[in-house]
Amino acid sequence: MPRPTVVVTRPAGQSRQLTEALQAAGLDVLSFPLLAIGPASDDAPLRAALARLDTFALVVFVSPNAIAYALDALTVVQGAAVARWPAQVPVAVVGPASVAALAERGIAPPAYRVIAPAGAAANGQGTDDAAPDTDSLRFDSEALWAQLDPAALAGKPVLIIRGNGGRDWLGDRLREAGAQVEAVEAYQRTLPEPSAMQWQAVRDNLRPGAAPHAWLLTSSEAVRNLDVLARQQLSPQEDASLRQVQCIAPHARIAEQALALGFAHIQRAAPGDAGLLAACLQWADAHAGPAPASIPATASPAAAETAATAVPPAAVPATVVPATSTKVERVTQETTSSSAMPPPGAASAHQAQPAQPAPSQGAGHAGVPRAAARRSAALWALVAVLVVATAGGFWWLQQRVDHLTGELARRQQSNDALVQESRVLTRNAQDTVKELQAKVGALENQVGETRDKQVALEQVYQDLMRNRDDWEIAEIQQLLTSAGQQLQLTGNVQVALAALQSADARLARTDKPQYNLLRRAIARDVARMKAVPNTDLTGAAIKLDEAINQVDALPLLSSERMLERSEADARKSAAGNGAGAPAAANGAGPGWFTRLWDYLREELAQVIRIRKVDDAEALLLSGDQGWFLRENVKLRLLNARLALLSRNEPVFRNDLAAAQAMIGRYFDTKSRRVQGVLTLLRQAQAGAVTVQLPTMSESLGALHALKKE
């Protein structure tokens, strides 16, 4: 009869001892992990809590996985090869597996205080994420709460290290007792992806007539994952068959979860691996009978004799069937057991031979039949021996093949589990690498921002370090620099003098001895500024502007208009009018003939006029040439004005002289307007006196010397 199969659903790599115990007990084992354990997605809160581990009054580990990942993180935080747990910080765990995991890390009494439910220290290994519960022993949060002293933890910090999800019953009770509870995740549970071979093995077990099998469910989350995977991978008929399969649960909560999801047959188990093994053997005996095994050494002589006589000695195989085998071994053994029996004819011939009487010494001719009979018996015996030897050899070879096939199946199953575990670890490693790369990128950005902020803070710090004296010196330097620029660019002595006086007044208000040299230098520069003679550059510029505005109205020598009378003619006319008036008053004025003659002479004088011109070209200018001449004169005067304001004396005098020469050559110098313009130009030339402006080098030098001090 095929042997029962137990499906172990623990995470890959955490069911080796239980699997070996089940196989040693004669049960087939199928590894079908329903949970994958990996590091937490973000271990920063865990490392931060472990960095201040000595501040907690109690640290609670919910499972061996929490212990493994937390202590590995503690080695990284401490920078040591082995984690150093503070002796003054007690540790609380919920089951015997956690107690054993702490002992493997060197955390065990009496050096450390380990709090666990009653019986945890003496029990076997527990489950992964849920502790077993029976009537006699209880390994869960409720049992751990019974061992704690809530009053001693009131107002003190308590750290709970757990995985993602799960119950928070213990944390709620501690908070109600007044403790400051901080819960961090050390690992995370995820849904694995079983291989195609594992699903095929499950489907084979669900077929009608297959060997009985049971599912070993060790956590509530594993039950939920089985429900999800079954709905995704199995057909409705296979899913319905799966929910009728026997399930073994080591805790009441797991059993309740399985019943809620439709699993009909649930069997409770005792705590630890020993309890799970006992429950599996009890189920196997009830559903498939005792597992096949070799005859014990302490069997009774009667039983041994019965076993020896049940089979002929020649049919006894040379090898013994091993106690543990796979399904492939079991099927092969049943198909080949019939060929291992001896042929019925040979056995009956061997047993039906009658006893021959002893030959007499005197029967001479009777010896021939007897010799023939002996040869015939020897021949039959030889044939029987050959048949038995052939059958035994064939049986031995078949057993060898079955053994190798079973070993290959076991190794294939182990390799599948290792491949699945490797995939999980690889995926976790890839996720960890991606997270680390993202964190490194974020850290690089933060480092760049921190560097920029550091530079800005250093600049602000340097600015703040400058005291009041530095600010005063900076303000005085700004005043002196502005005054020097005004003096060089515009020659404005008054602006520079005002800046020097303002700087001296500011230094006088501070009344500090270190400023005396600077004040003396400023005083000497002020004296030099005051000694500079006043030049009316603005008045000269105004006179040039008036001359420019009158150029368009000045009469040219070549103009067609009648020339204006000179001042001498005007005086003469005024004198004539003055002499004639008294005569007219006396009644002795000239007669009518005299007046007529004077009138005719004046009219003739207007028709013919004699003028003296030094340059004959002045009389040959046309109307357009006269307009260009006036524009050239104005351009010369504008250039002279710009040179005056920029203190370029050579250019000023050259342009002014050129303008005066053009006016004297082409314009009527006897006109009062022309004479007025020439007078304005001479006044502007006389007012533009060249003055050597002083510099402020002494004050600036004293200021630089003060800054160096």
Q: Residue 583: what pLDDT?
A: 47
Domain count of the fold of the chain: 4
| pLDDT value at 353 more than 50 | no
From residue 443, how far is each of 39, 435, 439, 456 by CA, in Å?
A: 21, 12, 6, 20
In this structure, are 176 and 259 located in the same domain?
Answer: no
Domain check: are 167 and 249 in the same one?
A: no
- If asked whether residues 168 and 151 sit together in one domain, one would say yes
Q: The domain containing residue 686 runs over which residues?
A: 533-576+622-692
- Is residue 41 in some structural domain? yes
Residue carrying the six token digits 């006044």? 683
pLDDT digits (tens, 9 = 90+) for 210-258: 888 899 998 888 899 899 998 998 999 988 888 999 999 988 888 888 9
CATH label of the domain that carries residue 659: 1.20.1440
Is there a single domain that holds both residue 669 and residue 522?
no
pLDDT given at position 163:
86
The pTM is what? 0.41
CA atoms within 13 A of residue 276's CA, in its CB half-sphere: 32
pLDDT greater at residue 172 or residue 318: 172
Quick one: pLDDT at residue 252?
Answer: 84
User: Which of 302-306, 356-360, 367-371, 455-459 is least confident?
Assistant: 302-306
Q: Could you tell me which residue, 649 or 346, shows the higher pLDDT?
A: 649
Angle at which helix 64-78 crosses helix 44-51, to 10 degrees, equals 70
Residues 565 and 644 in one domain: yes
398 in a structural domain = no
Give the pLDDT confidence of 617-646 residue by residue, as tens digits.
Answer: 666 667 778 788 889 988 999 998 888 777
Last residue of a domain, one of 157, 190, 223: 190
Q: Which amino acid is at 289?
A: G
429 within domain boundaries: no
Dihedral of CA atoms 143, 148, 153, 158 in degrees, nearest 10, equals: -50
154 SS3 class = coil
End residue of a domain, out of 158, 190, 222: 190
The two structure tokens encoding residue 11: 């995470």
Domain boundary among 228, 260, 288: 288
Give a three-class secondary structure readout of 205-240. Answer: HHCCCCCCEEEECCCHHHHHHHHHHHHHHCCHHHHH
pLDDT at res. 607: 67
Across 53-67, 330-344, 502-516, which has the greatest mean pLDDT?
53-67
Is residue 444 in a domain? no
Beta strands (DSSP E) in 23-142 are 28-31, 36-39, 58-61, 91-92, 114-115
Q: 493 CB contacts (<8 Å, ≥6 apart)? A: 487, 529, 532, 693
Question: Given this model, what pLDDT does residue 316 score?
Answer: 31
Does 306 map to a domain? no
Residue 120 has pLDDT above 90, yes or no: no
Q: Are 538 and 686 in a shared domain? A: yes
Note whether 177 and 72 are same-domain residues: yes
Dist CA 410 CA 226 (whole Å): 23
In this structure, the answer to whether residues 54 and 114 fall within a common structural domain is: yes
Same domain, 643 and 549: yes
What pLDDT, on a 0 to 100 scale, did the predictor assign at position 7?
A: 93
Q: Is residue 656 a part of any domain in this protein?
A: yes
Residue 25's CATH number: 3.40.50.10090
Residue 368 confidence (pLDDT) above 60: no
Mean pLDDT within 477-494: 76
Mean of per-residue pLDDT scores for the chain: 76
Least confident segment among 529-533, 687-691, 705-709: 687-691
> What CATH code is carried by the domain that includes residue 495?
1.20.120
Task: Note whether 141 and 226 are same-domain residues.
Answer: no
Question: In the chain, what percentage of residues exceed pLDDT 90?
Answer: 10
Mean pLDDT for 143-161 is 89
Residues 508 and 627 both lie in one domain = no
Amino acid letter, 388: V
Spacing of C-alpha 664 from chain mean position: 88
Domain-located, residue 682: yes
Q: Are residues 227 and 241 in the same domain?
A: yes
Tell me what pLDDT residue 663 has.
Answer: 87
Domain membership of residue 223 (yes or no) is yes
